[in-house]
Amino acid sequence: MIKPFNRRLLVEIQKQAEKEAETSKFFIPPEMEEEFAKRREFEIVKVISKSDDVTLPVKAGDKIVVLSHMIERVELDNVQYLFITENNTIGKV
């Protein structure tokens, strides 16, 4: 496994079944659901590990909301790793 550096968190995107099983923490009006799904500005991810200089109060296993377009994808030895910088996190679920 790769160790994150420079205020990055190694994350994993939840599978759709896991997302649907969770209770939503906010309400999306029915008339906005389709528009919200199209934008996908945010993604709920699970923290795998974090660099030593991350100051956010998160640990491995926590779920956080991040800006989707800021997820960095790195492929190494045919394994894809997903990183997000701590300043692109929105909150903890």
* Full set of structural domains in the chain with CATH: 8-92 (2.30.33)
Whole-number pLDDT of residue 5: 96
Tens of pLDDT, residue by residue, the chain (93 residues): 899 999 999 999 986 544 445 555 666 677 766 666 556 788 999 999 999 999 999 999 999 999 988 999 999 999 999 999 999 999 999
Radius of gyration of the chain from its Cα atoms, rounded to whole angstroms: 14
Q: What is the pLDDT of residue 17?
A: 44
Model-level pTM greater than 0.85? no
